Amino acid sequence: MMKVALASLLTGVLLFHAEAQTADTIYYNGKIVTMREAHPVAEAVAIRGNRFLKVGTNAEVLQTAGSHTKRVDLRGRTMLPGLIDSHTHPISAALSEREDPLPAMNSITDIQAYIRRRAARLPPDRVILIPKVFAPRLKEHRYPTRYELDAAAPERFVMADNGYASVVNSHLLAKLGITRDTLQPPDGKIVKDSKGEPTGLILGAQQLLGQFRRDEPATQAEQVQALKSMQKAYNRVGITSTIDRGQVADGFRAYQELQRKGELTVRSYVTYRISGQGTPQQVRAEIERIPFVTGWGDEWLRAGSLKIVMDGGILIGTAYLREPYGANTGVYGYNDPHYRGILAVPRENVSEVARVANELGWQMTAHVTGGGSLDVLLDAYEAADRERPIRDRRFTVTHGNFPNQQAVTRAKKLGVVFDCQPAWHHLDAPVLERVLGSERMSHFLPLRSLFDAGVIVAGGSDHMIRFDPRQAINPYHPFFGMWMAITRRTVDGTVISPEQRIERMEALRMWTLAGAYLSFEEKIKGSIETDKLADLILITKDFLSCPEDEIKDIEVLLTVVDGRVVYQNEAAGLKH
């Protein structure tokens, strides 16, 4: 009797073991780019549950099939790990189109057409707000005037805005009581023409214009729906994970609500933004009130970095540079040869954030677009490192557009990582070169220098506005971003600083393993390996061998997150 019982037990164990090794789904007969150095390309991959069960040849992987295994013939097509965008703002991006789709606005004529369309739809007392208008990206390379806004809707309140510079039309100027005799505001500048009349351009002046810079506030339900819809859009271009680079309490609640419903389709590492203002003691208290630190959460939703915004933007002429912008600043709407930009957080507060983050277990990052602000941030990181090593904290530079060789060396020594946006080089370098000159532009997003120094660089978009992946502000289509990093080709067809180009596998690493490293998750995602999370995509071209210029045109046929299909293009024609 005992022998029978032991035999039955052994049979049960063997059956359980066999069942545990049986795949739910097998993708075979493909070109699977694993991102593993030892085995960079495989033919097949098996998934069980939410993990990769086996990766290898067709014969090896098909051995894991059972009677209920779904077998998918890839017919030679290319499969990659799920892509990671290291810098997005999905909720605000989706909310930008909650009333109407936003068209691409590349000229003042485009802006006027949008104003007319909105004027036909909105109530007469509602301000027509045109968001994220950047003069360097307009065909005219200048802001519109009040009179050009008047021509589109003379009896309406109109404001073209980017968060720092705004152009208001005559009707809104009258409402604000701004005339040729109006004194300059303490926190900005009212630009006037040679006759002393306001042109409509107002720089800064948050107290004056803040009420108009905010659109109708979104409800919590609208934020949740916005996040859900944008994650679906990200899935369509192969994004399976992202780092949201700036939320406060209500944004975190939107993520938690979507997770509670089981409706997250993009793994999210969510940055918590603080002001960093006041005294250093007040900064410490602000951080200590946050009831979690980096890493809190699970594989779908984690608390990410602690973030401050240290300067303005290179597109609006407020990035804090190492030296003055110079004489060629007309594109920004001002002329001041001594102006260096804005350092928005006092140096002592930057140091306090770094010190407290290191003490409490936070990963820290900061928005720094100019070289001057980057140097101040690295000073703070070095001071924190002297008290307690920061390497394991993976302190981050967000943007970091102008790292000179000294900054690169300092970052490498500290283990500091970079969150970079190649789209800024593609879209803006030609205009910025005319403003800053070729010497300074040689340090603009120097990806080759960062890679050669051994600095970890992740690829991101800073997606802020619009659903369209290639026309959004900023474009979030990963293969468009990779193409930009590989070619350094700009929007006008020129190649600026070609020596800073990187190889295609390095670009792919930016959107896979490097992104996972920034969120401390390189051991569970970012490559196709046994026991890692089953996140992958199938694409239309062979990323490794297609002509370089075709990389930007790659589309996604299938997106799998956590072992589950979250997007499938009807053109895929997958057979199983």
pLDDT digits (tens, 9 = 90+) for 338-354: 999 989 999 999 999 99
Q: Which element (helix H / strand E) includes 94?
A: helix 90-95
User: Across the strands, what pairs with 204?
Assistant: 188
Coil, helix or strand at residue 51: strand
| 92 CA to centre of own chain | 12
Average pLDDT over residues 276-291: 97
Q: Is the dihedral of CA 273, 276, 280, 281 positive or negative?
A: negative
Q: Is-above-0.85 flag for pTM? A: yes
Q: What is the widest separation between alpha-carbon atoms in the chain?
A: 108
Q: Quick one: which of 14, 70, 67 has its CA closest to 45?
A: 70
Q: Which element (helix H / strand E) includes 45?
A: strand 44-48
Tokens of 524: 């569970």
Residue bearing the bigger pLDDT, 236 or 209: 236
pLDDT above 90: percentage of residues in the chain: 88
Given this model, what pLDDT does residue 260 score? 97
Average pLDDT over residues 473-484: 98
Cα–Cα distance between 396 and 381 in angstroms, integer?
10
Cα–Cα distance between 503 and 232 in angstroms, integer?
29
Residue bearing the bigger pLDDT, 2 or 184: 184
Given this model, what pLDDT does residue 340 score? 94
pLDDT above 70: percentage of residues in the chain: 96
Given this model, what pLDDT does residue 475 score? 98
Q: Quick one: which of 405, 368, 364 has its CA closest to 384?
A: 364
Amino acid at site 526: G
> Residues 430-461: pLDDT tens digits?
999 999 999 999 999 999 999 999 999 999 99
> Residues 519-530: pLDDT tens digits?
999 999 999 999
Average pLDDT over residues 187-207: 89
Is 364:419 a contact under the CB 8 Å cutoff? no
Reported as a pLDDT band with limits 50, 70 and 90, residue 1 is low
Given this model, what pLDDT does residue 3 score? 53
Amino acid at site 13: V
Given this model, what pLDDT does residue 5 score? 52
Given this model, what pLDDT does residue 243 score? 98
Using CA atoms, how far residue 115 sits from 149, 175, 203, in Å, is 8, 18, 21
Average pLDDT over residues 330-338: 90
Q: Using alpha carbons only, what angle is made at residue 103 by residues 102 and 107, rounded to the nearest 5 degrees? A: 125
Cα–Cα distance between 250 and 200 in angstroms, integer?
34
Is 244:268 a contact under the CB 8 Å cutoff? yes
Q: Kindly list the structural domains of the chain, giving each domain's residue range(s) and its CATH number in brackets, ordered by start.
A: 2-82+534-572 (2.30.40.10), 100-213 (3.10.310.70), 220-518 (3.20.20.140)
> Residues 4-61: pLDDT tens digits?
454 554 444 444 444 568 999 999 999 999 999 889 999 999 999 999 999 999 999 9
Given this model, what pLDDT does residue 15 score? 43
Mean pLDDT of the chain: 94
- Please state, as a whole number, how many other Cβ atoms lie within 10 Å of the Cβ of residue 420: 29
| 450 CA to centre of own chain | 19
Residue bearing the bigger pLDDT, 210 or 442: 442
Tokens of 225: 């729906």
Residue given tokens 């120097």 in the structure block: 446
Given this model, what pLDDT does residue 395 score? 98
Q: Does 155 have pLDDT greater than 80?
A: yes
Phi and psi dihedrals of 331, rounded to 5? -60, -25
Cα–Cα distance between 239 and 550 in angstroms, integer?
19
Cα–Cα distance between 416 and 412 in angstroms, integer?
6
Amino acid at site 28: Y
Given this model, what pLDDT does residue 11 score? 47
The CA radius of gyration of the chain, in Å to the nearest whole number, is 26
